[in-house]
Chain A
């Protein structure tokens, strides 16, 4: 028998470890930057993948501003996943590259321009909950300006 407190749904929880939700304040993305070669990662590691230096990865707050690098418009996915959606890769200002859904744009190659300015926004994870009923906060991309 579980403790009552463990069964109570909490939320929202961050969809990935690099999304931080402060008790007071707005959510943000936090990566790791190598102080030796400046490479940026979304998760910690034993040593820097780029230069191999150890003990040089320090947490760094990632920008919410960036540019669309490339994308695909997904029309068929795994069962139960709503389509179409735009899978986008975005280069953030100051370093770091993320993959995510590009929203608030028509899923049409004529409407999507590689290089276009993008901003990172936060919102509920499309209503998805885990087996314990927890809700999640996700990040999304949308056209800037």
Chain B
């Protein structure tokens, strides 16, 4: 395989609600922060990969360039559901891996409405929601969680503990949407949205943007490896056929396939991973991914959350940023924001939430439909 690809700069804006801002302006802010972090300029970039879902047909990448410098380089716009940002990052990685470019900007951005996400049904006929079950995201992920309950007896309380943990983590992340403690009783007694997911067990719809500067090995050596992060693996999968596909979107098999491929590509195993940012779009989902990513054995995810193994200071801290549950989930930005989080720990720059001695980290996102992206990152020096 060819030489490695490196992250030389990465940053994100504080996630929040910015109804008066435009999508390109949010993306531009993150892009400039990442360029500054790498001590580079837009003139140094040989290509730009932009991830955005809500305006997928509206050339967001080029509109970001209008705000930060129209250099005429190739710009590609990616949409891949909640894996959109990670897909844009991977497009940048591929361009360098192919030997086409030495420096590429990847940026992900989203401006979200409020309220429930999900299919409201086709225009034809009558609304199907609440008639043929539910297509809302909280219910879809509730059902995915109940599959784990069915197999292993996982409880409502165990799912709720995920939310307690991730909200606690976010109290040390100034860029998270929320920095509030949510004790177990608060989580379990919050408004029930779709059993077993209460309101505090659903990710927060926020606006956000994140960006990264990717470099070839040659360019990274030239500019200095001091704060560089090595991309050990970049993997994208779609959902392989499963028996219940048609009515039950499958987040498990595409994650398992991506994890297996990523560990092989990186030459590491789950036991080597020091911290993980995974796709906790709902509290139920995080439990599934402990097993899908091999962080514990089959059926052990409930025990893993009970024993604090995925908490900061535990065996393998998961979502120390606060995760989608508390940091927020701006769909197109999420996949790069979690790469920013891992990179920040590998660089030893995460402040109060630093995972001490972190050398290898893993990011994971799922776009329902489905797409799974996993990146394995390593401290370069």
**Hey, which bits of chain A sit against chain B, CB under 8 A?**
13, 15-16, 39, 41-42, 49-50, 69-78, 81-83, 85, 87-89, 91, 97-101, 109, 114-115, 125-126, 128-130, 136, 138-139
Contact = CB atoms under 8 A, between A and B. Distances in A.
A75 B194 contact: yes
The 9 A-B pairs of least Cβ separation, nearest first, read: A72-B142, A87-B133, A87-B134, A99-B247, A73-B195, A81-B130, A70-B146, A99-B133, A128-B126
B126 to A, nearest CB: 4
Contact of A87 (B139, B144, B244): B139
B241 A49 contact: yes
Given A75-B192, A97-B247, A97-B248, A15 B126 contact: yes
Contact of B150 (A49, A70, A76, A81): A70
A73 B194 contact: yes
A85 B118 CA distance: 17
Given A70-B147, A72-B134, A87-B194, A78 B243 contact: no
B129 interface: yes
Contacts of A88: 133
B246 A101 contact: no
Given A49-B241, A88-B133, A74 B139 contact: yes
B247 A76 contact: no
A59 B2 CA distance: 50
A142 B156 CA distance: 24
A77 B132 contact: no
Given A87-B194, A128-B126, A72 B143 contact: yes
Given A97-B244, A99-B247, A72 B194 contact: yes
B131 A101 contact: yes
Interface residues of B, number: 38
Interface string B3-15: 0000000000000
Nearest to B195: A73
Nearest to B148: A70
Contacts of A138: 131-132
- If over half of B's interface residues share one DSSP class (helix, strand or loop), that class is named, otherwise mixed; here it is loop
B365 to A, nearest CB: 23
B127 interface: yes
Interface of B: 116, 118, 120, 125-134, 136, 138-139, 142-144, 146-147, 149-150, 156, 191-197, 241, 243-248
16 contacts: A13-B125, A39-B243, A69-B150, A72-B134, A72-B138, A72-B142, A76-B193, A77-B116, A87-B134, A87-B139, A88-B133, A89-B133, A89-B247, A89-B248, A109-B195, A125-B131
Contacts of A85: 130, 134
A49 B245 contact: yes
Given A74-B136, A78-B136, A136-B125, A126 B194 contact: no
A130 B129 contact: no
B126 A70 contact: no
Given A41-B246, A78-B120, A128 B134 contact: no
B132 A15 contact: yes
Nearest to A72: B142
Given A72-B146, A78-B116, A78-B120, A101 B126 contact: no
B136 A98 contact: no
